[in-house]
Structure 1
Amino acid sequence: MGKTKFNKIYAIQLATIFIGFIIFGFSENIKGPAIPRVQFEFMLSESQLGTLLSLNALGYLIACSYTAYLTRKWGIKRVLIAAFASMAVSGILIFFSHSYPLFSASYFLMYIGNGMLEIGLAVLSARIFVKNTGTMMNLTHGFYGLSSTIAPLVATGLMEVTINGYTLDWRGMYLIMLLLSIVPIIFAFFSTFPGEEANHGERVPFNILLRDPVLWLMVCVLTFGVVSELAVGGWLVNFLEKAYGWETVSASGMLSAFFLCFSLARLFLGPLTDRIGFTLSLILFSGISAVCTIAALVGGEKLAFLFAAAGIGIAMVYPTVMAFIARRYGNGSDTVITVTVTLMGVGSVIGNYLIGGVIEIVKKSFGADTQVGLLRGLQAGYGVIGLCAALSAVAGIILFIYLSKRKEVI
């Protein structure tokens, strides 16, 4: 009887995490088709649009910074429900936002929910997946990858739907997609989670955690890896169109292939990380991504398929880092996750500015108004993506050496 009860609770916990990651992927990636329509309706300039997205990224980072504290005060169950609820409410507010200030506030609220959700799901996963940690972490993040892959297609389709003469457009699309957050709220409400009813021992003081070299090496591995991962979505299509003259459909198809490789890797390669160890996995997979990206640049258009193959390697970095943290830090994992994810977010913002800056500098040095200058600038900029993957692997090697000397390799 006890076993049946345990399995039922565990199933509900899994449903909360899996559906949560699906919602997370949708909420972050439906903006692509919607942003041009939002810009047109509110008559936003490029700089105003950039400011909007930057403020939302700030909201995301703010939420990441305080969610671990709320988890200790409220419990993970209430935090998750609050995160999903704020996303559902933001969908309603976006639907009724006919002025730019209200839309900005509604969008900001959605990103607050996203930040809380990322930390909340990571903390819950770290508590639940005590066995086969690498496999389960990669599997759950695989659901995020799958929903991210189809989110732009679903959003585009929904915006064209007409009900009783009313076209949903971007407001109706956001309303429907974000109201899906109600589903995991129901699962979370009727479940219990680790940490709700038990004290898992003393926490490692925050100042001691910050003096741990392993934590900072993990920040480097994660930041360089995620910069490389996220930058592909922003730069691959642009590179293929301008450097090789590809049509938008073909370039977008290559990006979809990247996300497909990315999602399949997380779904099926998780057991490999458990078998060979998390530290070696980080070195191996980030190294594979770096080699694929650099080889694609050096080999030219005929090796462009390697841009997509790079997704196989870089996909594994984030969930494997989360698995490493769960295994090494145990009871203090929520604090460590907050520190690493927050610093990762800051690094991601800097990384994207760096890529754009490198493109401009190199383009000017080869002739700003020439095709050669454009090509070299784009190659150099995209090379930063490969370099970040390589630096992630280098940080992993340093981490491995450090842990090996102390016989603490995970």
Structure 2
Amino acid sequence: MHNSMHKSNTRTRLRLNDILLLFVVFGGFLIFGFSENIKGPAIPRMQADFSLDEGQLGMLLALNSLGYLAACTFTSALSKRIGIKWTGITAFASMTIAGVLMYAAQGYGFLSASYFLMYIGNGMLEIGLAIMAARIFTKNTGTMMNLAHFFYGLSSIVAPLIAASMMGWHGPGGELGWRGMYLIMLSLAILPIIPSLWGKFPEEMHEPSEHISYRKLIRDPIAWLIVFILSFGVVSELAVGSWLVNFLEKAYGWSMSDASGMLSAFFLFFTLARLFLGPVTDRIGYTLSVMIFAAFSGICSLAAIAIGEKGAILFAIAGAGIAPIYPTIMAMIAKRYPKGTDTAITFTVTLMGIASVVGNLFIGYMIDFVHSLFQGRGANEGQILGLQAGYEFIALLALLCSACCLILYMVLRKRGEVI
């Protein structure tokens, strides 16, 4: 009797712990989506307040990538030193502190430093959440990873709308503005700290002989294929957010609200795909899933360009194909490297971060290059051809992601190790 009561209490404690950990991971992704995507409406106000030119603004945004990459390099080592629980708490706390510092920022230098800290927090959170999720979701990994990233998609859709609305709120000190908005939104990062303090996180278990090192990963062709798949997929995904509105406005003469509406539709398909396609990845395998979804996204984007304005909805539908790639690759890494997930995730995500900086620069220069080639063809034709070439490249990246997946599938099948 005493034994069965003890077992029942243990089971209840375990279930409660699982719920706390889900709150941390899902809540973490929700806050991550907010902190990444509230900048859209805030940046023009910051520019006006500090009288920044485009170069200074570009520098501010470049600090995002730099802070993010810096965090990617040390988060895995930090989680080994202080544990994943305290790494997560440090990430949430640094974001809250960044919000307070941004509120107090009086000059461009102070603002840049606060922004840099926020993106260090973001980078720590991305790696930290990926490590947490890989350890917690040992069953139905593809489904649970996609579900966790669904929360990121959800907050990404509403973040710009909430941010724009909050900046117009009036408090005792006048209008809330971008400072107050950042202070309130980043203070939400305190909320996941509470279940983090109570929860017991699974730490990585491995024999010293089995532990994977960066040197082993550098020599592993499969690790490099995973890096290429993730980089092509993510650059294609992020480029849509940067270029779709611009393309629709300049190539088809759409109004800003109509073009933004199409981008919202892209994120809607994107988010729904993460909610519903997770179980498909577990059923048919991660490699095959990514191969099919990436090809679907690339074909949709190319078809949209070929059809012209009438096919614009295909730009949005392409979001359903590109959405499951990142979370499914995280699930793939967790299955492929169970004894060194932290190291494998850090290796892959850091290289992907570098690729995304290079990729976005390349797309911008490519649009300019094609534009200058056809400048003599009329006022707008060169610009439209440039934008089309840029968007075709975005579609090509999704197809390259699919092609790399096909190679990975063939290599793994030959070894009898298909994931």
TM-score, normalized by the shorter chain, greater than 0.5: yes
User: What amino acid does structure 1 have at the position aligned with 2:388?
Assistant: Q
- CA separation in 2, counterparts of 1:180 and 1:200? 35
Name the counterpart of 1:306.
314
| Structure 1 residues 151-300: aligned runs within 5 Å | 151-164=159-172, 166-195=174-203, 199-202=205-208, 203-300=211-308
Q: Which piece of structure 1 moves more, 302-311 or 349-358?
A: 349-358
The total of aligned residue pairs comes to 408
Unaligned runs of 5+ in 2: 1-8
Q: Distance in 1 between matches of 2:238 and 2:219?
A: 29
* Cα distance, 1:251 vs structure 2: 0.3
For residue 374 of structure 1, what is the aligned residue in structure 2?
383
Give 1:165 deviation, angstroms: 5.1
How far 1:56 moved relative to its partner? 2.1
RMSD over aligned Cα, in angstroms?
1.0
Residue in 2 aligned with 1:323? 331
Shift of 1:358: 1.2
Give 1:386's aligned residue: 395
Q: Does 1:26 align with 2:27?
A: no
Alignment partner, residue 337 of structure 1: 345
Question: Of 151, 163, 170, which aligns to 1:143?
Answer: 151
Matches for 1:12-51 after TM superposition, within 5 Å? 12-51=20-59
Alpha-carbon deviations, 1:245-288, whole Å to 9, x = none?
Answer: 00111000000000000000001110000000000011001011
CA distance in 2, matches of 1:57, 1:250: 29
2:190 corresponds to which letter in structure 1?
I
3-state DSSP of counterpart to 2:192? helix
Question: CA separation in 1, counterparts of 2:117 and 2:339?
Answer: 30
Instruction: Return the alpha-carbon distance in structure 2 between the equivalents of residues 150 and 189 of structure 1.
Output: 28
Aligned partners of 1:254, 1:206: CA distance in 2, in Å? 41
Distance 2:155 2:117 in 1: 21
- How big is the shift at 1:152? 0.1
Q: Deviations over 1:326-379 (max 9, x none)?
A: 011012011110011111011001111111111111111111662111111110
Q: List gaps (5 residues or longer) in structure 1.
A: none
Whole-Å separation in 1 of the counterparts to 2:257 and 2:318: 20
Letter in 1 for 2:145: M
Residue in structure 1 matched with residue 100 of structure 2 by the alignment: 92
Q: Which residue of 2 aligns with 1:10?
A: 18
Matched, 1:403 2:412: yes
Q: Does 209-218 or 367-376 show the bigger shift?
A: 367-376
Aligned equivalents of 1:385, 1:314: Cα separation in 2: 11
TM-score (norm 2): 0.96
CA distance in 2: counterparts of 1:253 and 1:204, whole angstroms: 45
Whole-angstrom distance in 2 between the partners of 1:106 and 1:302: 44
Cα distance, 1:118 vs. partner? 0.2
Work out the CA distance in 2 between the residues paired with 1:324 and 1:28. 25
Which residue identity is paired with 2:258? S
Moved over 4 A (4+): none
Percent identity over the alignment is 58
| TM-score (normalised: structure 1) | 0.98
Paired AA for residue 207 in structure 2? G
Aligned residue type for 1:356: G
- Kept in 1, the 8 Å contact 2:239–2:394? The answer is yes
CA distance in 2: counterparts of 1:254 and 1:380, whole angstroms: 20
1:211: how far off?
A: 1.0
Cα deviations by residue, 1:146-180 (Å, 9 ceiling, x for unpaired)? 00010000000100000125211000000000000
Separation of aligned partners in 2, 1:244 and 1:402: 43
